[in-house]
Structure 1
Amino acid sequence: MVNSGKKILIVDDEAVIRRILTTRLSMVGYQVVSAADGLEALQIFTAEAPDLVVLDVMLPKLDGYGVCQKVRETSEVPIIMLTALGDIADRVTGLKMGADDYIPKPFSPKELEARIEAILRRVGRSHPTELAENLTEEQALTIGTLRIDLPKRQVYLNDTRVRLTGMEFDLLKLLVNRSGESISRTEALEEIWGYSPRNGGDLRVVDVHISRLRSKLERDPKSPEYIHTDRGVGYFFRRLSDLSHAIGA
């Protein structure tokens, strides 16, 4: 099967949800492991090294925010959070903790499958035809103190490795590839996450990821040098020709 070998960790305290998702995801070729509480989730995560985590917020022993925070201390594995909380601010909390996406409950298992597939496909592939001019997948882009190593999907600031999640890296690469061009939040969501926004809350996924990138890459996130806001339009990476940069192997 196309998804053979990819392992998904399902974390939810509702047995029926774990059973439904395990059955459906197994049917389309994923290996599936599951946990019923936050502490068990961390133990299984360490033992099984999954390729993606589906993580409920409301969990016994340790909530989903705590699990996400602990995972992010050592791993950039994709995390999709499930939340029954109605407040957008509560959903954004998970994104700020390092989640890649969220789906509010009740949700469609089919939609979750599509989100999982899109994220794993995005994180696991490269786009040589979309790269900045004269840049290939065998090269790295240096912009001042920022270095983007495309083959290794790694970013360095002042020669120090900056830990980015797969989705953060792809969002950064999209912005750099189209430097100087404003990209709307809708376009970014469709290009990177693979779905169209149903409401303004969905666009917060992009906003929070931009904020996370700025906090990791900018000397002063409130006065960014690289990633700028085009109010009413979207975001853009400062035009490469306006920055001190060099391209090399």
Structure 2
Amino acid sequence: MDKVNILIVDDDKNICKLINLYLKKAEYETTICHDGSKAIDLIQKTKVDLVLLDLMIPEINGWEVCKLLKIEHNIPVIMVSARDVIKDKIAGFDAGADDYIVKPFDPEELVARVKARLKSRTSEIRNIKEKNVVTIHNLAIDMDQYQVRMDGQEVDLKPKEIQLLHFLAKNKNIVFTREQLLEKLWDYNNAGDTRTVDVHIKCLREKLKNTTGGWKIKTIWGVGYKMEVQ
């Protein structure tokens, strides 16, 4: 597994050396630069997992660097600054900073903050991934891969069939009308041809001949469909 790489951005070389020393002791990889323009360039070319960012740096200040990073990469940013005025802290968080540490700081506290932020980031990524994968008994729908497996075997479904199945599974035991499904999955603003939904449901049932029980795509007569899960 690749080591976590932390980018240190500060024009004070002594501060960089101190931070670098403690991060290395904590077994992190580090990259150091001394101005905002170089920081942005490095992030375009190098794997960076977290940025320790001073505010008062040459070329492009820390606030602007943080804004650009959040827009383009959404990398965790901890601001490390001598500016202890509340309005500067607020401006830092408004720019997208995940944390703010005031100089002078305890290096061990800084490392602890880094660890906490990285742990939180890992949890966030895992939660996003879990939301994109729905598992119901013997059925697994992975929207990151656009892949459906039943009893461990991949099922050949068309993209819209996968989207429909994922939506029903994610909202299990909730009944949706044909019109609602058309609006949510086909972006129809009017009733349109509701037979489109019926055809896709029919195809799903034919391809997902579930014999192990536990779930089924059920017709609610006069209303619509739901994924019924026991």
TM-score bin (small chain): 0.5 to 0.7
Decide whether the 8 Å contact of 1:4 with 1:31 is kept in 2.
no
- Residue 122 of structure 1 and its aligned partner are, at CA, apart by 1.3
Q: Percent identity?
A: 33
Decide whether the 8 Å contact of 1:10 with 1:55 is kept in 2.
yes
Equivalent residue in structure 1 for 2:91, among 83, 93, 104: 93
Provide closer, same or farther for how the CA distance between residues 247 and 64 of structure 1 changes in structure 2, counting only shifts above 3 A.
farther
- Residue 83 of structure 1 and its aligned partner are, at CA, apart by 1.7
Unaligned runs of 5+ in 2: 136-142, 145-225
- Residue 125 of structure 1 and its aligned partner are, at CA, apart by 2.6
Greater RCO (Cα-Cα under 8 Å, separation 6 or more): 1
Decide whether the 8 Å contact of 1:13 with 1:60 is kept in 2.
yes
Runs (4 or more) in structure 1 with deviation over 3 Å come to 135-140
Unaligned runs of 5+ in 1: 141-150, 153-245
Aligned residue in 1 for 2:109 = 111
Provide closer, same or farther for how the CA distance between residues 73 and 247 of structure 1 changes in structure 2, counting only shifts above 3 A.
farther
Provide closer, same or farther for how the CA distance between residues 57 and 247 of structure 1 changes in structure 2, counting only shifts above 3 A.
farther
Aligned residue in 1 for 2:82 = 84
Map 1:61-76 → 2, pairs under 5 A: 61-76=59-74
Quote the RMSD (CA, aligned, Å): 3.1
Provide closer, same or farther for how the CA distance between residues 46 and 127 of structure 1 changes in structure 2, counting only shifts above 3 A.
closer
Counterpart CA distance in 2 for 1:79 and 1:127 is 16
Counterpart CA distance in 1 for 2:88 and 2:20 is 26
Provide the secondary structure at the position in 2 that maps to 1:58: coil
Aligned residue in 1 for 2:7 = 9
Provide closer, same or farther for how the CA distance between residues 247 and 93 of structure 1 changes in structure 2, counting only shifts above 3 A.
farther
Letter in 1 for 2:28: Y
Provide closer, same or farther for how the CA distance between residues 4 and 49 of structure 1 changes in structure 2, counting only shifts above 3 A.
closer
Provide the secondary structure at the position in 1 that maps to 2:123: coil
Map 1:66-215 → 2, pairs under 5 A: 66-125=64-123, 138-139=133-134
Equivalent residue in structure 1 for 2:49, among 32, 48, 51: 51
- Residue 127 of structure 1 and its aligned partner are, at CA, apart by 11
Counterpart CA distance in 2 for 1:48 and 1:112 is 23
Letter in 2 for 1:8: I
Provide the secondary structure at the position in 2 that maps to 1:41: helix
Counterpart CA distance in 2 for 1:50 and 1:127 is 15
Decide whether the 8 Å contact of 1:84 with 1:106 is kept in 2.
yes
> How many residue pairs are counted as aligned between the two chains?
139
Provide the secondary structure at the position in 2 that maps to 1:73: helix
Decide whether the 8 Å contact of 1:4 with 1:29 is kept in 2.
no
Provide the secondary structure at the position in 2 that maps to 1:124: helix
Letter in 1 for 2:89: R
Q: Highest CA radius of gyration, 1 or 2?
A: 2
TM-score (norm 1): 0.50
